[in-house]
Structure 1
Amino acid sequence: MDSNVHFITLATDDLESVRDFYVRGLGWTAHLDVPDEIVFFQVAPGLLLAFFDSRKFGEDTGRAAVSVSGLTLAHNVDSPDAVVETVTRMRAAGGSVVKEPQAGAFGGVFHALVEDPNGVLWEIAHNPSWSIGDDGTVSLG
């Protein structure tokens, strides 16, 4: 089996709030949007992030949806100013800022943490020793 991940699916109790946050608030375009069920966003080449209504998630998996902890999704940007701008936009879209933009304790990063309406924790970061190539390849230093 190869190491590709193509879908990350998170259950949500409030699909409308999550959709509003990403589509109306952040300007993301839904790749596929099934009202009252699931919304998919293309987040990288070959990778979709989906938010699935928690009741329907339970029907599909046979398991009750549980909250996710110990997880962050990260979005890297080109500068500390871009961290501040992105966090400002996320806050205006209904996100809760958990950590204001600041120098991080690890690896020379400047970052912030923002929680979306579903409780998903996003790290918005600038790390001058990391880069993302045009093909999506991540270089960690």
Structure 2
Amino acid sequence: MDPRISFVTLAVADLEATRRFYVDGLGWHPELDVPGEVLMIRTGERLVLSLWDRAHFAEEVGEPTMPGGSTGGIAPITLAHNVATKEAVDAVLATARRAGADPVSDAVERDWGGYTGYFGDPDGYRWEVAFNPGPIGQLVLP
């Protein structure tokens, strides 16, 4: 098996609110939009973010639960959007705020040398917006 990811699929409670956030708010363009079922957005050369209505997700994959049987808190996953400068981090976080992201944490200097902040989408999935000056950070930039 090749070491790659083709789709990241997230179950969402309100697909229309999710669509408004990602498409209308962040300005992303759907590759596939089936109202009430799924919204797919190309997020990389060979990577698609698939946002499924929770009921449709459960029919195919199974009922969503927290890993390890825990309850409460946030989903134990983050999605990351790396950018080339600290200023770009602040600009993306500002765009997320205007799109209705909640919560949004201001970016801070990290011990490892980067500059990152977070925002939550309508279902609470956390996006990290990061400037990572190291080699792994440069690897993921377009």
- Which TM-score tier does this pair reach, normalised by the shorter chain? 0.7 to 0.9
Gaps of 5+ in 1: 137-141
CA distance in 2, matches of 1:29, 1:64: 28
Over aligned residues, Cα RMSD in angstroms? 1.7
| Ranges of 4+ aligned residues in structure 1 off by more than 4 Å | none
Q: TM-score under structure 1 normalisation?
A: 0.87
Task: Count residues with an aligned counterpart.
Answer: 133
C-alpha distance after superposition, 1:12-31 (max 9, x if no partner): 11111111111000100001
Structure 2 residue runs without a partner (length 5+): 67-73
Judging by fraction of residues, say which structure has more helix: 2
2:102 and 2:124 in contact (8 A); partners too: no
Q: Which residue of 1 aligns with 2:5?
A: 5
* 2:132 is the alignment partner of 1:127: yes
Bigger mean CA deviation after superposition, 1-10 or 17-26 = 1-10
Structural mapping, 1:51-70, within 5 Å: 51-61=51-61, 63-66=62-65, 69-70=75-76
Equivalent AA in structure 2 for residue 97 of structure 1: P
Residues 72 and 120, structure 1, Cα contact 8 Å, conserved in 2: yes
TM-score where L is the length of structure 2: 0.86
* Amino acid across the alignment from 2:114: V
What letter is aligned with 1:118?
Answer: D
- What's the CA shift for 1:100? 1.1
Q: Partner of 1:131: helix, strand, or coil?
A: helix
